[in-house]
Structure 1
Amino acid sequence: MKRLLFSLFLAALLVPSSSADPMASHKAMIKDALKAGPTEITDNATIMDMAGTVLREGDNGWICYPGKELDHGKDAMCVDSVWNTLAQAWIGKKPFSTDRIGISYMYGGDGVGVSNIDPFATEPTKDNQWVAEGPHLMIVVPNPATLEGLSTDPESGGPYVMWKGTPYAHIMIPLGNRKP
């Protein structure tokens, strides 16, 4: 028991605390978020954390979020207003529809990955097409019928539909190789 308590104490000392220097933490989150998309977008985008706290005001209508682990842009994303609405609906498990195209950049790619079939899966299974995509662009369209004819296979070597048949269906457009 003493060894466990000592280990926990030591771990607490070694793990940097975001409350120790909130500005350093904000700077790290902003730096990570800026890796998500092209500089023409990120230079003037609003940067927010996943809790919705504005870390930097922007003026071009785009919002960039840092990744979960601040790991070289992995999971970081820059979204337009449509994609931001989709993301909030997905996180809240609420319905989503749109009357216009929405775009999201993820230049750092996925961190641990996601199911290509089930938007709420939290781990890979033998039948949920788990994929950790490299750099990619995501496009949501107003009419899901327009997705017909596109592959749903992330191994197809080109664009594919993720989460087909759900309100969150979108086109994944790989922009580079997946990292092992």
Structure 2
Amino acid sequence: MDRHFSNEKEKAVKTYTGMNGRVGTGALAILLMSLAGSGTALAEEDLKADALSAAWPGMQEGARVVDWEGNVLQEGSNGFTCMPTPPVLSGTAPMCLDELWMEWAQAWQNKEPFTAESIGVAYMLSGDEGASNVDPYAEGPTDDNEWVKEGPHLMLIAPAELLENFPTDPHNGGPYVMWKGTDYQHLMIPVDARE
């Protein structure tokens, strides 16, 4: 969930609704339909395949798959929910999250507090389009936000004390803590090379 899909969607809505109040409900409805439509322009099977590309093969059959509007494309039985690449991104960034990660994502998206009391697992085996290693809400690379475009990786959330001894350097050659010191800190575990 180190993608900033919700920020992009929020920004798009704010851009169209924040024009000094000049956009009426009809225009807003058209915008929302176009945002939703951009996610459903692909055939349902393509969305499902994209979402499941984040998972390791042994979990794909039992994973729940939803699109970005919450439509269930595949019922699941293993506790993981897979989502396709957000429609506002041009690259790939599908993800599969366990239940704790889903709680984390809700807190992150709404900028609410989150404290991990157990371990959660997420898969992004197709990699991602990049995120700041230090700022959970950065929208793009800057000189000081340690932007990282990660290859295939796993992510773990855990109680803060379990993450204390891991480095924060994404170039250390192994796992690293992203967003250290925030409610959204998590361990990034690269499993293949970055592009």
Q: Indicate the TM-score class for this superposition, using the shorter chain for normalisation.
A: 0.7 to 0.9
TM-score, normalised with respect to structure 1: 0.81
Match for residue 149 of structure 1? 165
The 1-side partners of 2:135 and 2:43 are apart by 32
Query: Superposition pairs for residues 73-92 of structure 1, below 5 Å?
Result: 74-92=92-110
The 1-side partners of 2:165 and 2:45 are apart by 43
Amino acid at match of 2:173: G
Instruction: Work out the number of aligned pairs and report it.
Output: 160
The 1-side partners of 2:41 and 2:148 are apart by 34
Query: Superposition pairs for residues 23-172 of structure 1, below 5 Å?
Result: 25-69=43-87, 74-111=92-129, 113-141=130-158, 143-172=159-188
Identity %: 46
Contact 1:37/1:106 (8 A) holds in 2: yes
The 2-side partners of 1:95 and 1:26 are apart by 34
- Please state how far the C-alpha of 1:25 moved relative to its aligned partner: 2.5
The 1-side partners of 2:123 and 2:152 are apart by 8
Specify the structure having the higher radius of gyration (Cα). 1
CA change 1:24–1:68 in 2 (3 A) is closer
4+ long deviations beyond 6 Å:
none
The 2-side partners of 1:74 and 1:24 are apart by 14
Gaps in structure 1 of 5+ consecutive residues:
1-17
Amino acid at match of 1:50: W
User: Root-mean-square deviation (CA), in Å?
Assistant: 2.4
Gaps in structure 2 of 5+ consecutive residues:
1-35
